[in-house]
Structure 1
Amino acid sequence: MEFTTLTVTTARHVATVTLNRPDVRNAFNETVIAELTGAFRALGAEPEVRAIVLAGNGPAFCAGADLNWMKKMAGYSNEENHADALTLAEMLYTIWSCPKPVIARIHGDTYAGGVGLAAACDIAVAADHAHFCLSEARLGLLPATISPYVIRAMGEQAARRYFITAERFDAAEALRLGFVHAVAGADALDAKVNEISAALVANSPNAVRESKRLVREVAGRPIDDDLLADTAERIAAIRASDEGREGVRSFLEKRTPAWRPA
């Protein structure tokens, strides 16, 4: 894969996708959106990749939308604005629905659409100096395309506050809200990300993929006969799968399962 706004590397079953526009604090435009969509679709289909880290190069994780892109959008028709916004919505959905688990490695400022990027990931780890801001209301705009992911990640009540106040909040507050899962010092951020990545890689790839899908498809559903039947079918299917059988056998035989790297 060749990119102009990203770098993509893979080591020990973990792919790292790095936003690489440090001169504009990794703000995104139509090229970044298209490349992120393409990268996550490709990595999601790559058998050797078991986890993906989304990171940023330079002083910020992602400052939201590129100013030049925003200037261009100011002259768009309603139809053009809708089509443009839909590409952003599709990119966020591609990350959120990627069959591989995605870890956001957050450092520095994370603003507007950058908050949406972090929220679309499965796990978020922030440096203790990171700051967040849903700044759209200051510009007369809405965090509309990112809202499904941000509301899920921080909760409705917190989203209501930060959407309408556009206040900055720090990593400690993000942790308190549950928006991020862990906070680490700048010098320990990579170690924490690597620790979580290693835990993901040690698990059954099929079980990880199906667990991610399970949360997506079960959350919010009523606990009724349909859900009971659905969840029973899921566990029955995975028990009969190759990795399910191998996992049980390896546990009973007190050995390492075949999928675990040496």
Structure 2
Amino acid sequence: MVDTLLTSIDDRGVATVTLNRADVHNAFNDDLIWELNNAFSKLDKDDSVRAVVLTGSGKSFSAGADLNWMKAAASYTEKQNMEDAMRLSDMLATLNSCSKPTIAIVNGATFGGGVGLVSCCDIAIAVEGAKFSLSEVRLGLTPATISPYVVAAIGERAARRYFLSAERFDSAEARRIGLIHEIAPSLQDAFSLAHVMLKNILAGAPGAQRDAKKLVADVVGREITPELRADTANRIAARRTSDEGREGLGAFLEKRQPAWSLDA
């Protein structure tokens, strides 16, 4: 029996999670959703993990929902459908809130829920030939569960267009609207770009990166009030007196690498 999800961790603490249902373009079903949620949760809690890379096997990153899974859902009661949708929502939330830096390497076609996975990652790199689509309305559905993450990634204006049209778009358009950050000519080149990203990530302090991710989540969309300014001042004050803050400043003044720095 083939594992539907592959997870490995190298000696730098970089975890690679690979969707491994290539025969169905890495489409979601109950098992894959559970395995993804479990993997992201475990990696988040593992202190030896410094970063997480997410990619797919075969020609596609993820085609979204598995057809057999959707067919089964059509016969569910409203309560069963709610429970089923919440399992997908929980998995996306686990990835989105992961305290470790996350990088999506988009190796091919990425539809529906696959776009949701990409949107939940901090950094996204796509191969030149990758295609994207939020195709739910063509099935009489909406991209509801993934919408908080996709709208945060591409903005309201682009979401209105692509949620309604369900049209396919390429890597260049995905970068223009903010879904991905970089385009690579090939999968090998995409991993090379990720290697550069990881080199930068591994030079940073893990605790500071965790707090920086939370900072973005807590600050985005908020009005700049005295309370917000006080909150951010408290956060930097706490960082300055932390073990990492002292080590980082000491390393800078002593012209040496800080204790957490690793060669990618």
Matched, 1:50 2:50: yes
Q: Deviations over 1:44-97 (max 9, x none)?
A: 011111110010000000000011101110100000000100110110000000
Aligned residue in 1 for 2:258: 257
Letter in 1 for 2:229: L
Q: 1:225 is matched with which residue?
A: 226
| Alignment partner, residue 241 of structure 2 | 240
Q: Deviations over 1:238-260 (max 9, x none)?
A: 11110110000100111110111
Aligned residue number for residue 128 of structure 1: 128
Alpha-carbon shift at residue 261 of structure 1 (Å):
2.1
Q: Using the alignment, how far apart are the partners of 1:230 and 1:107 within structure 2?
A: 40
Give, in angstroms, the shift of residue 193 of structure 1: 1.1
For residues 195 and 61 of structure 1, the distance between their equivalents in structure 2, rounded to whole angstroms, comes to 21
The aligned counterpart of 1:80 is: 80
Which residue of structure 1 aligns with residue 7 of structure 2?
A: 8
Give the Cα–Cα distance (whole angstroms) in 2 for the partners of residues 102 and 255 of structure 1.
27
Instruction: Tell me, yes or no, if the aligned pair for 1:13 and 1:201 is still in contact at 8 Å.
Output: no
Give me the whole-angstrom Cα distance separating, in 2, the residues matched to 1:70 and 1:224: 46
Secondary structure, in 3 states, of the residue corresponding to 2:212?
helix
* Distance in 1 separating the partners of 2:215 and 2:123: 16
Mapping of 1:90-105 within 5 angstroms? 90-105=90-105
TM-score (norm 1): 0.98
The answer to whether the 8 Å contact 1:15/1:53 transfers is yes
- Give % identity: 54
* Distance (whole Å) between structure 2 residues aligned to residue 13 and residue 185 of structure 1: 27
Letter of the aligned partner of 1:149 in structure 2? Y
1:150 corresponds to which residue? 150
Contact 1:116 1:147 in 2 (8 A): yes
TM-score scaled to structure 2, two decimals?
Answer: 0.97
Q: Secondary structure at the match of 2:26?
A: coil
Unaligned runs of 5+ in 2: none
Per the TM alignment, residue 197 of structure 1 is displaced from its structure 2 partner at its CA by: 1.5
Alignment of 1:95-244 (within 5 A): 95-186=95-186, 187-244=188-245
Superposed structure 1 runs of 4+ greater than 2 Å apart: none
In the alignment, the residues of structure 2 paired with residue 194 and residue 160 of structure 1 have an alpha-carbon distance, to the nearest angstrom, of 34
